[in-house]
């Protein structure tokens, strides 16, 4: 990286069930104002804005940002499915790093409807949905939502390969609920046992209802700036982006007849490797992780893709408690997408916010003590994976 990029302000609003949230522009405006206040700057100091969302009209980003002011700055609308928030963050980081701006706002938001990701959402012109439909015909899959078929299919493939117990996937959701119980921003804060999770309605083996993230409404934001801007505004020792990488699909995603590869394993693995090389750090240096747990199966796969454990050892990693407090890595202290919720455009910025709080020591009851290095993983099928490493020296 040619110029260091700092994260000097973050903010989010509590996530809500569809039908129970404010309008998208109000949520986004509130998240943006919180981030500006956190940074100690005015909206007039922002030179560019990047707005991420999936469900909405072509310039919803403008409407959202206009809640903060009408200063005539460039506003960019970003849509990359579930990786939208981090894709917007990637663009904002590039603007600062490249010297095109000194301070930018990145905001993500989503106002979803009930069943937004259900089977009626299937688009037969979308290659991912075509692939899910083909897998249904060939392997006898039920009419579960396409995303559940794909990630559930990846979970099945992993089980066939490694003999993994169904309880192992449920154990991930149990951990998510435990973490979310301490997060006032999370949608689901009730703790559940492995038995209760397995007893919930089956969606697509090995996934039950409590192992799938819910459609959610919410917003989150971050303020990025250069070292010069931070110094000018009296900001010392900020959290900064130590490395960042975005990958998209490889031939292996579709040519190797592997559901694990199709849901982004190679994207994750390669993006993580690029980040480790850029930062000069490895998995052993990480203190806290927010990763894309849209389904429990994906969290399990991502442990290995990020190098948190060796391939084929995720089950032991989970049951040894190496994915939670007292273990090797605290993963998804927020409760993750499974329990915090998954407002598509906001998710990447919500992950960023959570990690910045930990690096500052501001995560309250969820605080990972002494955290100095944080890793973020945000995945969207279609496909894109963004991995970001944050540090505070």
Specify the pTM.
Answer: 0.93
Domain boundaries, the chain: 5-115+215-391
Taking CB atoms within 8 Å and a gap of at least 24, the contacts of 256-262 are 258/157, 259/135, 259/150, 259/153, 259/154, 259/156, 259/157, 260/154, 260/157, 260/158, 260/301, 262/131, 262/150, 262/154
Q: What is the pLDDT along the chain (393 residues), one digit of tens a residue?
A: 579 999 999 999 999 999 999 999 999 999 999 999 999 999 999 999 999 999 999 999 999 999 999 999 999 999 999 999 999 999 999 999 999 999 999 999 999 987 654 533 333 334 444 444 434 433 444 578 999 999 999 999 999 999 999 999 999 999 999 999 999 999 999 999 999 999 999 999 999 999 999 989 999 999 999 999 999 999 999 999 999 999 999 999 999 999 999 999 999 999 999 999 999 999 999 999 999 999 999 999 999 999 999 999 999 999 999 999 999 999 999 999 999 999 999 999 999 999 999 999 999 999 999 999 999 999 999 999 999 999 999
Torsion sign across C-alpha atoms 192, 194, 200, 204: positive
Instruction: Enter the tokens of residue 330.
Output: 């605290």
Q: Which fold does the domain 5-115+215-391 belong to in CATH?
A: Peroxisomal Thiolase; Chain A, domain 1 (3.40.47)
Is residue 352 annotated as a catalytic residue, yes or no? no
Largest CA distance in the chain: 62
Q: What is the pLDDT of residue 143?
A: 73
Closest CA to 111 of 172, 166, 159, 63: 63
Set 342, 352, 377, 385: catalytic member? 342
385 classed as catalytic = no
The label of the residue with tokens 């899959």 reads 141
Looking at residue 118, what is its pLDDT? 52
In angstroms, what CA-CA distances link 29 with 68, 78, 119, 315? 6, 17, 32, 42
The length of the chain in residues reads: 393
pLDDT score recorded for residue 121: 34
pLDDT of residue 142: 52
What pLDDT is attached to residue 140?
A: 43
Q: CA-to-CA distance for 261 and 183, rounded, in angstroms? A: 32
- 79 CB-side CA count, 13 A: 11
> From the candidates 60, 82, 213, 217, which is the catalytic residue?
82
């Amino acid at each position: 990286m040619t110029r260091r990029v700092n994260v000097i302000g973050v903010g989010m609003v509590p996530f809500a069930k569809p039908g129970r949230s404010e309008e998208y522009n109000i949520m986004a405006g509130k998240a943006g104002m919180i981030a500006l206040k956190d940074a100690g700057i005015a909206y007039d100091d922002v030179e560019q804005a990047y707005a991420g969302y999936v469900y909405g009209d072509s310039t919803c980003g403008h409407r959202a940002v206009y809640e903060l002011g009408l200063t005539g700055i460039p506003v960019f609308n970003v849509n990359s499915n579930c990786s939208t928030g981090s894709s917007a963050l990637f663009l904002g980081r590039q603007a600062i790093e490249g010297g095109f701006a000194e301070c930018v706002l990145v905001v993500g938001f989503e106002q979803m409807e009930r069943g937004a990701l259900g089977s009626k959402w299937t688009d037969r012109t979308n290659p991912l949905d075509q692939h899910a439909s083909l897998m249904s015909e060939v392997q006898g899959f039920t009419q579960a939502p396409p995303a559940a078929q794909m990630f559930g299919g990846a979970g099945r493939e992993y089980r066939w390969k490694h003999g993994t117990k169904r309880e192992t996937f449920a154990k991930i959701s149990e951990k998510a609920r435990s973490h979310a119980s301490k997060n006032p921003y999370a949608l689901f804060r009730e703790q559940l046992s492995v038995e209760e999770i397995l007893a919930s309605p089956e969606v697509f083996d090995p996934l039950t209802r409590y192992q799938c993230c819910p459609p959610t409404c919410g917003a989150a934001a971050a303020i990025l700036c250069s070292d010069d801007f931070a110094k000018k505004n009296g900001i010392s020792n900020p959290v900064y982006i130590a490395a960042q990488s975005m990958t998209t699909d490889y031939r292996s995603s579709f040519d190797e007849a592997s559901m694990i590869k199709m849901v982004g394993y190679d994207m994750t693995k390669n993006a993580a490797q690029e980040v480790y090389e850029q930062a000069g750090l490895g998995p052993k240096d990480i203190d806290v992780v927010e990763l894309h747990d849209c389904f429990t199966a994906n969290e399990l796969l991502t442990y290995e893709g990020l190098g948190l454990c060796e391939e084929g050892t995720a089950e032991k990693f989970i049951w040894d408690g190496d994915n939670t407090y007292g273990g090797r890595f605290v993963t998804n202290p927020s409760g993750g997408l499974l329990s915090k919720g998954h407002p598509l455009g906001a998710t990447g910025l919500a992950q960023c916010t959570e990690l910045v709080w930990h690096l500052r020591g501001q995560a309250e009851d969820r605080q990972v003590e002494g955290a100095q290095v944080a890793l973020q993983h945000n995945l969207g099928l279609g496909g894109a994976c963004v991995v970001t490493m944050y540090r505070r020296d």
